[in-house]
A and B are shown apart, each in its own frame.
Chain A
Amino acid sequence: MKILVFVKVTPDTAATVKVDEAGNVTWGDAPLVLNPWDEYAVEAALQTKEAHGGSVTVVSMGDESALEAIRRALAMGCNDAIRIEDPALAEDDSLSTAKVLKAVVEKIGDVDMVFFGRQAIDGDTGLTPPQTARLLGWPYIGLVAAFREIDPDGGQFTAERTIEEGRQVLSSRLPAVVSVAKDFGEPRYPSFMGIRKAARAKVPVWSLADLGLEAPAVKVRLPELQNPPKREVVCEFIEGDTPEEIAEKLADKILAEKVL
């Protein structure tokens, strides 16, 4: 099978993210990492390859910092990688990104399955995967927790996806786009050999011209970024001689907040 996995680089989840005086987003010296949700997508793509043969190509659109994410995915076991960068892509939104990713899928050609993460933890939108599917005109199964069957020869697959009510089991045809939920299972750690191989890998860069694409229009603008207002809370510590006394006082305080 020819498998693609799209990944993004994001600041580590533990980073303290702030808007500086110039209005730019900063995260100090916190590391950039493979978007945590994309680790599950890489894991699912690799398991699919291991079960059905073929190769996994990891693709990220972004400047050189995207190599952090790409190298992690390569170290986990992806076969090769492509990075997309173009000065005209300095600004983007989910739909403009989806238009570029669609062109990538079409340029690579003969792709059987495209894997996405649930969402990128910077913008937290989760829109790009279904949008890319819709633009390709391919079936989409979002938030896949497990595959019941993938039949590359018959061009069919069945997946369980997570919804509020539990799981919806869907079958569809290939080629298809999926996004992967955390329920899929823990992503593997890169092996020592994998890390060495990834460090040496040459990652080709494609521009918009390579994709035969004009820069897609950006429709969503972010005119302002702010640090959220400080939570104006001073914790009132409830004390007492016995748990019962503390509980009594705490229950009264909570009742007085009128949130019950």
Chain B
Amino acid sequence: MSKQIWAYIDHFKGEPLMPSWEAIGAAQMLAEKLGGEAVAVILGNGMDAAVQAAFHYGAAKVIVADDATLADYRPEPYAETLAAAAAEHNPAVILFPTTTRGRELAAMAGAALDAGVIADIIDMDVVDGKIVTTRPVYAGKLLAKAVAEGEPQIISLRVRAFAKPEADESRSGEVVKVAAALSEDDIATKVVEYATTEGGVSLTEAAIIVSGGRGVSNNPDLAPPPDITDENEIEVWRAKQGFKLIGELAETLGAAVGASRAAVDAGYIPYEHQVGQTGKVVSPDLYIACGISGAIQHQAGMRNSKVIVAINTDPEAPIFKLARYGVVGDLWKIVPALNEAFKKKLGKA
């Protein structure tokens, strides 16, 4: 029997998250090097479309538990079903995308199977038949090689660290059904409701991010409406105008909007947008930092971006040490001009 390399497909209400496909790509890579097959594992309810998509992205086989108890992600039924399926099929490796659910489930599967778990890796290689992973530690200030003993080896992949395979709609394969491990009566945790945030590009998955910092409120010439007199309210009002400019550039580029902690703490923009050690860790192809000084805690969240562009009035700002391109100038002037330039060049004018 050939080795199974599993890729867990994370989804929300049946809609797979993009990094799940990256996991299939990584599973294929391991299957080639270790001798085995890439198997997608899907837990949910009404997952036929996801199963087909997993084949399109390169799974040789799909293991699926399709059951009403799995309609919503909850740790207990998901972890137990996954562990039971693993006990039955003995995968050599289980890969997860490091999404919120993926990380949690990797951890619980490890505890259920008494197996080592390596979280949030950015690279891996097979050396003498062993998987040697690389993961950032201390917020990326160091890199650690990590190896798990025994089987299955449970590994979660940093989002966007592994290439997403091309989809090929002609591919299909064998579907293996497994049962849900728990009945509804055995599950203590119930979903009450969701409070979802309105659309927009997810920061961790974004290929392009335009971020704003404290500089986004720094436009003394901009006169607030007469009914706003409080100093703090004026600052926040100015910042909202500044983030409007950032948002327009982001829209032109199909980018997500990020922020520094200073911008979040000052109430310019909600915490979901924070990039950094205590916010989101991102690795887009392009990161444009506007009015951000580049404190070490901010760098921890974005230093792995491919191309970094910084716009800052202070030529000594540490962000320029990371940046490929820099503009020493006022973001209030540069950002709108850059938006116009891109609109023209990308044919969006």
Contacts and interface: CB of A to CB of B under 8 A. Distances in A.
Contacts of A18: 141-142
SS class, residues of chain A in contact with chain B: mixed
Given A221-B147, A247-B334, A182 B323 contact: no
A220 interface: yes
Interface string B128-163: 000010011111111111111110000000000000
Interface of A: 11, 13-14, 16-19, 25, 36-37, 93-95, 98, 121-131, 133-135, 139-143, 148, 158, 160, 162-173, 182-183, 219-228, 231, 233, 235-238, 242-244, 246-248, 250-255, 257, 259-260
A141 B21 CA distance: 26
Contact of B189 (A131, A139, A223, A251): A139
B193 interface: yes
Given A233-B323, A243-B334, A131 B328 contact: no
Interface in B302-334: 303, 306-310, 320-330, 333-334
B117 to A, nearest CB: 6
A226 B310 CA distance: 28
Contact of B138 (A17, A131, A163, A246): A17
A220 to B, nearest CB: 4
Contacts of A140: 75-76, 104, 108
Given A182-B278, A231-B303, A257-B307, A236 B110 contact: no
B126 interface: no
A251 B341 contact: yes
A170 B146 contact: no
Nearest to A122: B138
Interface stretch (B41-49, B55-63, B95-103, B215-223): B95-103
A170 B192 contact: yes
Contact of A143 (B100, B141, B309): B100
10 contacts: A130-B75, A148-B192, A164-B202, A173-B188, A222-B145, A223-B132, A233-B324, A244-B341, A251-B342, A254-B286
A93 B116 CA distance: 8
Nearest to B135: A124
